[in-house]
Chains A and B, each alone.
Chain A
């Protein structure tokens, strides 16, 4: 029996309200024991990093893996490799692939392909994500669909959405709503405000998001369904969710790092990696998102990892598809912009990337309690990473964070007791300079397009 002992590091497990320096023993792929001074036998691999934190493997509830259909941009294999590089051991994959994940066999396919990390398929709400006929939600759930979403667009027809919520509540699954009124979005590319006025890019008003957030909250409340609002980006949406929670509606919500660390001012570079749906918002919206994370209105930080090829992104801003990659920068961005700034405790930040999303999805993950699957991330919150295009394991490189230095370096990721990612610390010192130089060059190619 292979055992691993994580020794003498700070263990943070928000699900069990733990934050102390204790040992953790992994055996048979599960958390066997936790406590001080656990003895190791000959067979046991001992892992200790000074200054490191041991936390549950992160849960990213909003990921686009692009398989099937666009394997040039990402595959389940490359996507999970990127995930574990970012400390993520559980991810939920959105169904807007080609074809759409709207049949049980596709759900089984996605679920079975995740080796390095657990991949939970999210299936479509409607057939082909066309917003018309309901997909076979019960069969999809039985095949392993963890939730339902037409992510990429809203279900425009309120009656179809209401029926979906009713039906999903019968099978106790969450509907994840992408909230954007397509008529209000129109040909818009950036947030309406000073950014659109200055850049000349077509505006998307905050109301495009908020009207659908409000609608879906009302619909979910009226039929008693579980609703999760994806990528909340505006002050108004935060306030709607806050009020709904106070009113007892079964609503949860997520935001993404780019909505608390970038603003619509960043689109002025015309860097197509800053084009995302919903668009980057104003500084005031960022303030509200941060407050929503602090007070628990927002339950999860998810990446909305959206890989796009260089060919698709090296075009005019308004011709570029929206989206940026994000799994590998999820933890460092959250630490740098939310923890190091004093807005969130490290424990709260980890909760937003572990137990928070796990509860929103209704899955067992994101905890280090005894008996749980041994999904663990070990990271150094003080150690920095230089984000370069070479640093990403994702097949796509569309990140606006290339060129930045972030705190929070993942040292090791363990999934089901197996080490699935290990930072190469031994050679980092010697080859660092050379690596940096190469990275700087490739950097130039990607940034500024």
Chain B
């Protein structure tokens, strides 16, 4: 096994071997999800807090399900009871969590770097469940898992990410993960959605949806937030849909075995048409199932790092008392 990190804060800088370890571990957990009894005792006695400073339904549910399938004790802390509203600083939130002797924290926060801040202040392991537009590593891992399931080794495979790259934590994490596995990555979207100097991450940029998708093995379609229109990034959602929306006519021009993915939730008729989202090429619901397995794998791997640390500590205590 090749996993020694205490936290999963992002995929920037991650090694190929580490990703393989996660995906291989996830495939073992994926089998469990098809059993009649889907629960294992792996994390019994481990306490996990889902700390969500931003509303999220599916990511939080996916983590919670993963935690419960592993028999962990689960606490949920969400934005409606958020400390921000009480004027508590993130540092105090961190100290309170620390005082409750929690083993792991799954954190969603609108500010990039917030999980890194937490990691500096508490003892437990942190999983970044999305920090603003920065990273969303478990989403990228489930994307990689799903891609690998369908196309095998990703080395040299052509992956296109379409949409609002600028505001997308999924795009950033996907890019780091895909580059680590040797894929050729293209990003496509209107110029106002392309982050400055993104080419330096090793990706190709195009504004032509046909160029971007016609030879792609995988097309990952990002959600377009409706507020981007009022933010001046887009003239209209309709225009976006005309230029970049993935519809059946466009899919016809793509490779016959192209894989269409979407991190959800879908804006049907904006970035993706109904017939594509529900069509033969779509693996969108498979992604959701795999997400639970990947998160189980991640929680398991981080708990193993913590356990080995505890063993070391108890060795020290044993030595001292002897």
Contacts and interface: CB of A to CB of B under 8 A. Distances in A.
A in complex with B:
yes
Interface of A: 192-194, 196-201, 203, 205, 270, 311, 314-319, 448-449
A193 B197 CA distance: 6
A273 to B, nearest CB: 13
A192 B131 CA distance: 19
Given A316-B90, A449-B91, A201 B113 contact: yes
Contacts of A316: 90, 109, 111, 113-114, 117
Given A200-B133, A449-B120, A314 B91 contact: yes
A199 B196 contact: no
A200 B172 contact: yes
Which of B12, B135, B195 gathers the greatest number of chain A CB atoms within 10 Å? B195
Contacts of B307: none
B246 to A, nearest CB: 24
A252 B195 CA distance: 34
Closest 5 CB pairs of A and B: A200-B134, A270-B113, A316-B111, A200-B112, A197-B195
B196 A201 contact: no
A314 B118 CA distance: 11
A197 B172 CA distance: 8
B198 interface: yes
A199 B112 contact: yes
A113 B169 CA distance: 50
B152 to A, nearest CB: 30
A199 B133 CA distance: 8
A449 B196 CA distance: 26
A203 B196 contact: yes
B116 A270 contact: yes
B196 to A, nearest CB: 5
Contacts of A205: 196
A442 to B, nearest CB: 15
A447 to B, nearest CB: 9
Contacts of A314: 89-91
A197 B197 CA distance: 7
Contact of B196 (A197, A317, A448): A197
B54 to A, nearest CB: 12
B263 interface: no
A335 to B, nearest CB: 32
A196 B195 contact: yes
A201 B112 contact: yes
A200 B91 contact: no
Size category of the B interface is: 20 to 34
A318 B112 contact: yes
Given A317-B111, A318-B132, 11 more contacts: A193-B196, A194-B200, A196-B195, A197-B197, A200-B131, A200-B172, A315-B89, A316-B109, A316-B113, A317-B117, A448-B120
Contacts of A317: 111-113, 117
A317 B131 CA distance: 12
B285 interface: no
A200 to B, nearest CB: 3
A311 B134 contact: no
A116 to B, nearest CB: 34
A317 B109 CA distance: 12
B40 interface: no
A123 B120 CA distance: 41
Contacts of B311: none
Interface of B: 12, 89-91, 109, 111-114, 116-117, 120, 131-135, 169, 172, 195-198, 200-201
Given A270-B116, A270-B117, A317-B113, A197 B90 contact: no
Given A314-B89, A315-B90, A199 B113 contact: yes
A197 B198 contact: yes
A201 B196 CA distance: 12
A192 B112 CA distance: 15
A318 B111 contact: yes
B111 A319 contact: yes
A448 B198 CA distance: 27
Nearest to B112: A200
A200 B169 contact: yes
Which of A192, A201, A203 gathers the greatest number of chain B CB atoms within 10 Å? A201
A410 to B, nearest CB: 32
16 contacts: A193-B196, A196-B195, A196-B196, A198-B12, A199-B112, A199-B134, A200-B131, A201-B112, A270-B112, A270-B116, A311-B89, A314-B90, A316-B113, A318-B112, A449-B117, A449-B120
Contacts of A203: 195-196
Contacts of B198: 197
A268 B91 CA distance: 19
A316 B114 CA distance: 6
Contacts of A318: 111-112, 132
Nearest to A447: B120
B199 to A, nearest CB: 10
A209 to B, nearest CB: 15
A320 B247 CA distance: 43
Given A317-B112, A449-B120, A200 B135 contact: yes
A387 B271 CA distance: 52
Nearest to B135: A200
Which of B91, B112, B132, B195 gathers the greatest number of chain A CB atoms within 10 Å? B112
A99 B317 CA distance: 58
Nearest to A319: B111
Contact of B132 (A198, A200, A448): A200
Contacts of A449: 91, 117, 120
Nearest to B114: A316
A317 B110 CA distance: 11
Contacts of B120: 448-449
Contacts of B116: 270
A199 B197 CA distance: 13
A194 B12 CA distance: 13
Nearest to A316: B111
Nearest to A200: B134
A341 to B, nearest CB: 26
Nearest to A202: B133
Nearest to B165: A197
Contacts of A199: 112-113, 134
A315 B93 CA distance: 11
Contacts of B133: 200
B139 to A, nearest CB: 14
A57 B167 CA distance: 49
A443 to B, nearest CB: 13
